[in-house]
Every structure is written in structure tokens, then in C-alpha cells.
Structure 1
Amino acid sequence: MTANTHDRGAPAAPARRSGLGVALFLEATERFSFYGMLSILLVYLLDVRGLAAPRANLFVGSFNALALVSTLLGSRLGGVVLGPARTVLYGCAIQFMALVLLGLSVMWPVLFLPAAAAVAVTNGLTRTNMAVLILRHAGGGRSADGLATLYTFAVNLGAMFSFLLVPWIGRRHGYALAFGACAAGLFMGAAAALLNRRALAGGASGGTARAVPRAVAETGLAIVSYWVVLNFPAGGHWIFWLVTSAIPVFWAWAWRNATPAERPGIAICLILVAEAMFYGMFDEQTTSTFVLYALHDLNRQFSVAGVTLFELDAPQIVAINAGLTMLLGPVFVVLYRLVDARFGTVALSVKYVCGSVFIVIGFLVLCLDTAGGAPGLRAPWGMFGAYAALSVAGLIMNGLGLSVVTTYLPARMRTMSVAVYYISTGLAMYGGSVLANAMGIGRLHAATPIPESLSTFHALFRGFTLLAACGAGGIVLLLPVLRRLERRAG
């Protein structure tokens, strides 16, 4: 089954192009606001709220997991209550208010947790349905892989600017103005989407006015629930196991309601989503342990032959990942087209193998960079190399998760499946933060000497390198199984 088989009844070509442009712009600005908030969350917890590194790391992991678990709510509201376009716009409105409250929380700390909970919830409202609005343009010469890569490009365009700008504002002008900048970026995208809401919706119906109170009530209940969880981030493991146990229930339901011809595609999707979860454990480190490593042991002046090219704050270091992903995104779009035209479509399972190899390379670079007894801070180019490898892995594996859903699952299951995909990767990211704490971050504190912290990070990166190598080997061993299933899926 291919994405092109589900293009009947799509909007006309000019409307499709306009709607795609509006959706990509909104996605970039919404991601600017979300990742801008995330870019300063760890240092805000360390500097303003006085949390120790292990607790701050676990809080960020819990927040990331909840932000992706909330895609289940977004899937429901977008699929059966409001429609995807209206859900996105309502989510942007709530997120804007939450970001304003985060800015005010610098003066009134009691506002921080409910505002953070609201941002985590609205991530699910926007992220799931933005993916639906973009992927509905598959067909008419646009492949699902290419659209997924454009989606990833828009995400990282917003993320790169937020990781560069928001921490800079926070350090020089205070966290209140930094959170305000996130709100301002979101306002720009939401205003443009409102002015072009017909193109964004693509002519699809958006529910009735009577559905709005129900959607507001469900969103409010989710925010209250998340506020409770974020008050006790160490209890997040109970949420982890609860939601993890629910994921097999979804796949069992999908299998039971599928026709015999659809079941090989569901099996492929299940395996490839598991491989995407494998990537999620490592992706979590790019915004948490990598930042902690930059705070403790990295010389953040990027120099060549003694000449400093530029300098980044520790939170800004993540902009390398977003920037490289953004720059490489169009290259991958062209590459997919060239490969498809010359050799035929490359199986998604093969692309996952390639992505897993780059995960190994990324963590091996940091493992080698922190090895040895050389005193002092480490040069930043090792971090740059690790981010480069993980950017390639992200482009290959992270964007493909959406393509897997579009390619292998029947249309009636897609909206819920996108949510399950995001929930699965969110759980993997939470698991990655717990694993990082167990592998050494739990022993880290603000006054840890450089030699001791270097030893801690070396042990952590060595452990993740070995885990990545074992995972890549498992993905390779699954290739024959996936090829047989692909032949059966046609």
C-alpha cells in the first residue's frame, strides 16, 4: 500500500500548494515557541528553581514524554471532535497564553508548573494534527518521504532559530523576556494561519461549535493531570509503565480490525515504530545530557588555527543539531527523488539501518572525545561531529516514522497511529533520561571537578555507544523479516 492510493478527493493543486505553505510556516513558528521554551528549561530549573542536575534531567525527560503522550488527546480532538485545523489553532491559542504565564512565573513561581503542563498538553494538539495537515498533500508528485522530510525541515528551521535566540535573550535580558519571545514567535505563525485558515484546512470540515466546550473540558483535565505529574517527576515512571502497557492494546486492536491483506503492513509498522523508539532514547540526550556536558566540560569557543569563529552558550549548543538538520533536509528531499528515479524506492527498513549506523557514530565520537586523562575542557568540534551524525540519523529515522504510518497503514487508522507513534517515541525519550541518570548523571552536581565529570560523561557515552551498536545489529538482523513482510504487503 502506498501513500498515493489515498489522494482521492484532495483539494485542487493551487489550494494544495497554498495549504502546504501555510502549514509549514505555522509548524516552523510553533516549533520555535516550543523548542525555545525547551532550550532554556534545563538551565531555568538549575539556575532559577535551584534543582540538582539529576532531578532537572528527570524533569526535562518527564516533560518531553508528557508532551508526546498528549498527542493521544490531539489525535482524538483532531480526528473526531474539532478537526485537525481547528485543533491546531486552538492549541496555538492555549500555548500562547501558557508561554505568557511562563514569563510571569519568573516573578510568581507558582505559575510555572501549570504553565509548563499547558505547554506539554498543547504540544499534542498541534504536533499530531500538523503532521496530518502536511501529510495529506501526499500524491500528485509528492512522496510521503519527501513531505516527511519537509516537515522535519520546518521543525528544525524553527528549532534552530529558537535554540540560538531564546537562550541568548535569557542570559542577557532575563527569562521573562525569553519566554515572551517564544510567545511572540507563535503569535506570528498563528496569525498567518488564521488569515489563511481555509487553505490550512483544505476544505475539510472542522466539527461543530457545540464540540468546543467538550474539547476545552478535555484539554483542561489533561492540563490538571500533567500539573500533578510534574509536581512529582520521580513518579513519572508509573505513567511510563501505564502508557507503555496501553501501546500493545492499540496494536492488538489494529490487528484485529485489519483485513488479512492489511496485516503485513501493520506488522511492518510495528517493527519500524519500535526502531524509531530506539532512536528516541538517543535523541533525548541531545537536549539534556549533551547540554550538561557542555556546561561542565566543553570549551564552547569554536576556533580554527587559534582564530575564534563563534561562541555558544551551553543551551545554544543544541542549535547545531537543529541547524544541520535544517540544512540537510532539502538535500535529503533531492536525494530521495534521485534514488527513487534511478533505483526505485528504497525500503524504509533499509533507511532505518543507515540511521542506526549514524547513531553509533555520533556517540562513538563523544566516547573518544572524553577518553584519556587529558586535563581541562574539551574542544567543541567533537560535539559538532556528534551532532552532525545524529542530525543525519534524525533525518533518516525520525521523519520516517510518519512516512511509515502513511505508507503501511489503512487511512482509517492513521490519525490514531500518528499519536501512538509520538507516544512511543516520547516514552523512549523518558526511558533515555532515566537510563542517563542510572549511567552517571545521577552522581553529577554543580561543584563536580572537571576530571570527575569527564570520567562520568565518558562512562555514559561509552555505555550509549555500546547500546547503539547492539541496537544497530538487531535492526540489521530484522531486515530479512521486513523484506518478506514487504513482499506480502505488496
Structure 2
Amino acid sequence: MMEPRRRTFLRIATLELCERFGFYGLQSVSVLYFVRTMGLSEQGAIMLWGAFSALMFGVPVLGGWLGDRILGARRTVAVALALLAIGYTGLASGMGGATGVSLVLAVLVCGGGIFKPNITSLLRHAFSGADDRLDIVFTIYYMSINIGATIAALAIPFLAVHIGWQASFGIAAAVLWAGFAVSLTLPATAPPPAGAPDRRLWLLLGAGIGAAFTLLHYPALARACIWVAAAAILLIWIMLYRRSKPAWRAGLKLSFALQSEAILFFLFNQQIATSLTGFARDHVAATIRLEGMDWALQPGQFQSLNNLWIVAFAPCLAALYYRAERKGRPISVPIRFLSGFVLLTGSFVLWRAAALAGAAGPVSPWWMVAGYALFSLGELLIAALGLAVIARYAPPDGVGRLMGCFSVLGGLASYLGSLVATDATRGPAGGLGAASIAGYAHLFGNLAALAALVALASALFIPFARKMDAHWRRALPPPPAANEPILETLP
């Protein structure tokens, strides 16, 4: 890697770390913070986080357009970081009440939404036509995401208890302002779009913040928009399929089926910020014994286990993939989905057992450690496959639309995950005591059953997937020349 590119990469990775620090810091305390500052019930707080998550998935579709057509990726990233820094500064200033917090969250939605597509665009431009180390570049970049997430999930809950909500968010704001300063030092990696931005940009941002505020402040409207978006995406899928050439249709059908499995993962992933954190708060012992010492834990800090296990398992899984490729038996996408959902099933079976054991008193934190180990390994097998199947099977003129649809559907699944998580808060005793532990056991059991059903469907779908893949390949144009890459056959 050339020296200027190394410096550029380090700056981009730093920006990603800063953004993830803010997001995961807020996620680690979100439900408790909303309850205490907005006067919401726990159900209301969970659904607010669900709406926030859904919008975070949807806005990148517009953020990519903003970076491509109006500002360019570098300036869009700077604007995004400024919005994020302003948002966390708002939290640090103590803006309370439903209106104040909803406004701050709306600013964070717009900042985070336009940040994600453009930071990856910056990375792509910085290394376009460069050396052969892109796999190393993206591996280290992914690690920066997990480093920021881990630090935030450990630090913000601890700081919120010991120095207060406002001071802890003040630290997050300082991190984002530092990220904004770093973004101003980035070199131009691609020519900006023709024409200078004008007041339409500020009108667009203002309209985006206003729309996000309205959806966050009025939950019924948010629910209606979620279902309208789902119906619109289904219509886009149908139209794309009907307008595609016959040679691409078998691949599209296979892509739709595999994307549906990947999207379901977000429903389970939403439990990290909602039901799993609530369970840790109410029914898991607050200290863990490690190396002969007792370590105090805040409920939100258990979320860091997800990132820590990902960092631990990712190299092992990469080595497994490499060995399978060397032996000529690569692990196919359907097999990865099957294995991932089997592991998710195991994680929620463990957590259900922990909830049943919690009827006699707080359970050991090692239940959470073991459950997150299975969950995180399952996540590594599933998480990136939705985009991978789009890249493989979608027609070239439909990739962008399907990528955008996948992002929005991920937000829909996250919102449904929050809706599912509220089941644990319902019970004859108002979601407390024995009723709460029964609610968590019921919820985790249902999630285990759902994951098992998806795993079973994945297993039954494997022979059909192979046939559809073969049919798609037979319908494609003749194979490329010898010096062009050849697509790997689905085992």
C-alpha cells in the first residue's frame, strides 16, 4: 500500500470508528435513556428505537444519491459528521422531553444515513485501480467498525452511571467533532459532481430532518410508512422481474429467496438493543468473575460481547473458507444460511434456558457470554450474504435498485424486531418480577422456534437453489474469455 493511500485509509477508518462509537454508544443505553428522559413506557421506548433503526436503514438510499449527484462523497461525509456531532451535542445539552429527543434523533438519522454509503464510496475511490491488497484493506476497515462499536458499548453505559447522561453523550459529541475535523483533511479522491451546491441542498437536509422528526414523534404514522415501504419494494421486485431478460429471471428468483433469509436476520439482531439488554438489566447478575476478580457490568455493556466475538471468530471463519476453497469444496451460500440460523437457534435456546433459571434469582453473566458466542458466529455466516447474492444474481441494470431495496427491508425487519421484543414487557404484573421472567422465556423460546423454522426452510431449499443456479448459468451468454474471471458454481 503506497504511503499516501495508507494515510488516506487511516483517516477513513478513523471516521468510521467515530461514527460507530456514537451509534453503538447510543444503542447501548437507548431504551433506558428514552424511558427516563421522555417519560415513555418500556414498550414505547423499544418501538422508538425500532423506528430510529428503520430510518437509519432507509436514508442511505438517498444519501448515496446526494453524494453522487450534488456534493461528492468527501463533502457529503463532512456534512454527515457535522450533523452527527450536532445531534450528540444536542443529547449532551440535556434536550429532554419527547419533542427534544425526537428532534435530536431526526438529526442523527440524517447524519448517519448519508454517512454510510459515502464513506464506503470514499474508500472505493481511494483504492480504485490500486494494488492487490483490497481484501486486507476491507478486512482492517471492518475491524475498525467493531473496534468503535466495542469501545462505545463498554464506555457509554459505564460513563452514564458514573458521570451522568449528559456528560457521557458529551464525550460522544467530542468524538464526532474530532471526526468532522479529520474529514476536512481528506484529499480529493474523485472529481465532485458538476455544479456547485446551492440552497436546494439545505432545503433537502431540512426536509429530511423534518420528515424523520415527524415519523419518530408520531409512532402510528411511522408504522403506516413502514408497511407502505414494504409494499412499494414488493412492487419494485415484481416490476424488475417482469422487465428482466429471461436469462436473468432464474437468478432473480434465487436472489429474492436468499435475500429474504438474510433480511430475517435483522429481526433477531434487533434483540441486542432491546430484549437482550432488558433481560441483562432485570435478571442477570451485575458482576462477572474473571481471572480471580469480580468485574462490575452495566446492562448495555453486554452488547459489546457481540463485537468481541466477531473479532475473535472472523479470522477463524476466513481460514475455514480459504481451506474449503483450496480443497475445491467451497461453502455455498445456502449452506452458510443454514449453519447461521442453526447457530441463532442455539443462542436463543440458551437464553431461554437462562430466563427459566432466572425465576430463582439473577443468573450468571456467563449465560450471556455463551449465547452471544453462538449468535455472533451465526451473524458472521449470514450478515453480508444478502448483498453478495444481489451482486451475483441481479442483472447489471438492477443492482443499485436491489441494494437500496435490501437496505430498506433491513430497516423493516429491524422495526419488526422491536415489535417482537415488546412481548417480553407484557405480563400480568406489568412486565416486572415473575411475569417479566416468564415474558423473556416466552419471547426467547419463540425466537428460537422462528430461527429453527428458517434453518429447516434453508435445508429444504438447498436442492432447489442448486437447480435454479444451474438454470441461471445455462441461460447466461457464453462463458467469458480465458483472461476474464469465471463465476464460481453454487455447490
Name the TM-score, length of structure 2 as normaliser. 0.86
Q: CA deviation at 1:134?
A: 4.6
Matched, 1:453 2:448: no
Structure 2: distance between partners of 1:482 and 1:381: 38
- AA of the residue aligned to 2:35: L
Matched, 1:364 2:349: yes
Encode CA deviations 1:432-490: one digit per residue, 9 max, x unaligned. Answer: 111222x33234888822x3321111111111111110111112222222223333245
- AA of the residue aligned to 1:430: Y
- AA of the residue aligned to 1:62: A
Encode CA deviations 1:112-151: one digit per residue, 9 max, x unaligned. Answer: 211111111222211233344456769965688x877655
Structure 2: distance between partners of 1:270 and 1:115: 36
Instruction: Quote the residue 2:461 is aligned against.
Output: 478
Instruction: Quote the residue 1:94 is aligned against.
Output: 83
Instruction: Quote the residue 2:373 is aligned against.
Output: 388
Matched, 1:166 2:190: no
Matched, 1:56 2:45: yes
| Structure 1: 5+ residue stretches without partners | 1-11
Tell me if structure 2 keeps the 8 A contact 1:351–1:397.
Answer: yes
Choose which of 452, 456, 464 in structure 1 pairs with 2:447: 464
Q: CA deviation at 1:72?
A: 2.0
Instruction: Quote the residue 1:7 is aligned against.
Output: none
Choose which of 289, 296, 317 in structure 2 pairs with 1:311: 296
Matched, 1:295 2:285: no
Percent same amino acid at aligned positions? 25
- AA of the residue aligned to 1:40: V
Instruction: Quote the residue 1:157 is aligned against.
Output: 147
Q: Greater shift after overlay, 69-78 or 52-61? A: 69-78
Other structure's SS at 2:289 match: strand
- AA of the residue aligned to 2:426: G
Instruction: Quote the residue 2:424 is aligned against.
Output: 440
Instruction: Quote the residue 1:220 is aligned against.
Output: 206
Structure 2: distance between partners of 1:468 and 1:343: 30
Structure 2: distance between partners of 1:259 and 1:85: 37
Q: Which has the higher contact order (CA 8 A, sep 6+)?
A: 1
Q: Greater shift after overlay, 358-367 or 338-347? A: 338-347
Instruction: Quote the residue 2:36 is aligned against.
Output: 47
| Structure 2: 5+ residue stretches without partners | 474-486
Encode CA deviations 1:397-438: one digit per residue, 9 max, x unaligned. Answer: 11333333433345554444333222111110101111222x
Q: CA deviation at 1:95?
A: 1.3
Tell me if structure 1 keeps the 8 A contact 2:39–2:97.
Answer: no
Matched, 1:243 2:229: yes
Matched, 1:74 2:63: yes
Q: CA deviation at 1:298?
A: 0.9
Relative distance call for 1:291 and 1:257 in structure 2 (3 A) is: same
Structure 2: distance between partners of 1:434 and 1:105: 28
Choose which of 27, 39, 42 in structure 2 pairs with 1:38: 27
Q: Alignment RMSD, CA only?
A: 2.9
Structure 1: distance between partners of 2:124 and 2:395: 14
- AA of the residue aligned to 2:417: G
Matched, 1:186 2:176: yes
Relative distance call for 1:206 and 1:186 in structure 2 (3 A) is: same
Structure 2: distance between partners of 1:232 and 1:440: 23
- AA of the residue aligned to 1:482: A
Matched, 1:417 2:417: no
Encode CA deviations 1:137-170: one digit per residue, 9 max, x unaligned. Answer: 69965688x8776554332211111111112221
- AA of the residue aligned to 1:126: F
Other structure's SS at 2:193 match: coil
Other structure's SS at 1:302 match: strand
Relative distance call for 1:373 and 1:22 in structure 2 (3 A) is: closer
Structure 1: distance between partners of 2:49 and 2:134: 35
Tell me if structure 2 keeps the 8 A contact 1:36–1:166.
Answer: yes
- AA of the residue aligned to 2:149: A
Structure 2: distance between partners of 1:476 and 1:135: 36
- AA of the residue aligned to 1:193: S
Structure 1: distance between partners of 2:18 and 2:261: 29
Tell me if structure 1 keeps the 8 A contact 2:21–2:172.
Answer: yes
- AA of the residue aligned to 2:331: V
Structure 2: distance between partners of 1:22 and 1:181: 20
Tell me if structure 2 keeps the 8 A contact 1:301–1:308.
Answer: no
Tell me if structure 2 keeps the 8 A contact 1:71–1:127.
Answer: yes
Structure 2: distance between partners of 1:357 and 1:138: 38
Q: CA deviation at 1:222?
A: 1.6
Q: CA deviation at 1:282?
A: 0.4
Instruction: Quote the residue 2:74 is aligned against.
Output: 85
Structure 1: distance between partners of 2:33 and 2:322: 43
Name the TM-score, length of structure 1 as normaliser. 0.87
Tell me if structure 1 keeps the 8 A contact 2:74–2:186.
Answer: no
Structure 2: distance between partners of 1:400 and 1:147: 19
Structure 2: distance between partners of 1:236 and 1:445: 29
Tell me if structure 2 keeps the 8 A contact 1:64–1:426.
Answer: yes
Relative distance call for 1:447 and 1:266 in structure 2 (3 A) is: closer
Structure 1: distance between partners of 2:308 and 2:94: 30
Other structure's SS at 2:39 match: coil
Structure 1: distance between partners of 2:48 and 2:340: 28
